[in-house]
Chain A
Amino acid sequence: MKLEPNGYKIKDFIKGVPITLWLLLLVIIPLLFTFIMSFYTSDGNVIDKTFSLSNYKIFFTDSLYSSILWKSIKLAVLVSVLSIAAAFPLAYLVSFKIKRGRNLLFMLSIIPLWVSYLVRIIAWRSILGNQGVINSLLLAIGIIEKPLTFLLYNQFSIAITLIYICIPFVFIPVYTALEKIPKNLTEASSDLGAGEGKTFIYIIVPLAMPGLITGFIFSFIIALGDYIIPNQLGGTSGIMYGNLIWSQFGFAFNWPFGAALGFILFTIAITILGLTSRFGSTEGGFLSE
Chain B
Amino acid sequence: MKNSTAIKLENIQKKFNDFTAVDDFNVEIKKGEFFSLLGPSGCGKTTTLRMIAGLEEPTRGNIMLESEIVNNVPPYKRHVNTVFQDYALFPHMTVKKNIYFPLKMRKIPLPQAEPMIKKVLQLVNMEEFGNRLPQQLSGGQRQRIALARSLVNEPAALLLDEPLGALDFKLRIAMQKVLKDIQQNVGITFIYVTHDQTEAMTMSDRIAVMKDGRVHQIGNPDQIYNSPATAFVASFIGDMNFIHGRIVSKNRQEAEAYGNVFKFLNDKSDFTKEQDVLICVRTEKVQVNASREVDNSFDAELKRIIFRGVDYELTFNLNGAELRSIVSSLEWNQSIKTGTILKIGWNSDDVLIFPAEEERDIVKYSLDSE
Query: Which A residues contact B (CB, under 8 angstroms)?
Result: 182, 184-185, 187-195, 198, 202-203, 206-207, 283, 286-287, 289
Contacts and interface: CB of A to CB of B under 8 A. Distances in A.
Contacts of B53: 191
Q: Which of B84, B105, B133 has the most CB of A within 10 A?
A: B105
B101 A185 contact: no
Interface string B74-93: 11100011101010111110
B296 interface: no
A192 B149 contact: yes
A203 B101 CA distance: 10
Nearest to A187: B55
28 contacts: A182-B88, A184-B86, A185-B88, A187-B84, A188-B82, A188-B89, A189-B101, A190-B55, A190-B74, A190-B76, A191-B81, A192-B76, A192-B101, A192-B102, A192-B105, A192-B150, A193-B76, A193-B102, A193-B105, A194-B101, A194-B105, A195-B74, A198-B105, A203-B90, A206-B92, A207-B92, A286-B92, A286-B135
Given A184-B86, A187-B75, A193 B153 contact: yes
Contacts of A190: 54-55, 74-76
A192 B91 contact: no
A281 to B, nearest CB: 13
B268 interface: no
B106 interface: yes
A287 to B, nearest CB: 8
Interface of B: 53-55, 74-76, 80-82, 84, 86, 88-92, 101-102, 105-106, 133, 135, 149-150, 153
B91 A286 contact: yes
Contacts of A207: 91-92
A225 to B, nearest CB: 32
A193 B102 CA distance: 6
Contacts of A193: 76, 102, 105-106, 153
A191 B152 CA distance: 13
Contact of A184 (B76, B88, B105, B153): B88
Sorted nearest first, the 9 A-B pairs with minimum C-beta distance are: A193-B105, A188-B88, A192-B102, A286-B91, A190-B75, A184-B88, A289-B135, A206-B92, A191-B82
A149 B58 CA distance: 58
A198 B75 CA distance: 13
Contacts of B89: 188
Nearest to B88: A188
Contacts of B135: 286, 289
Given A190-B55, A193-B102, A202-B101, 18 more contacts: A182-B86, A182-B88, A187-B84, A188-B84, A188-B90, A189-B90, A189-B101, A190-B75, A191-B53, A191-B76, A191-B81, A191-B82, A192-B150, A193-B105, A193-B153, A194-B76, A194-B101, A286-B135
Contacts of B80: 191
B57 to A, nearest CB: 14
Nearest to B79: A193
A187 B81 CA distance: 11
A194 B74 CA distance: 10
A272 B102 CA distance: 37
Nearest to B149: A192
Given A192-B149, A195-B74, A185 B102 contact: no
A289 B88 contact: no
A286 B88 CA distance: 14
Q: Which of B89, B90, B133 has the most CB of A within 10 A?
A: B90
Contacts of B90: 185, 188-189, 203
A283 B90 CA distance: 13
Given A198-B105, A286-B91, A286-B92, A191 B75 contact: yes
A202 B76 CA distance: 14
B92 A195 contact: no
Contacts of A286: 91-92, 133, 135
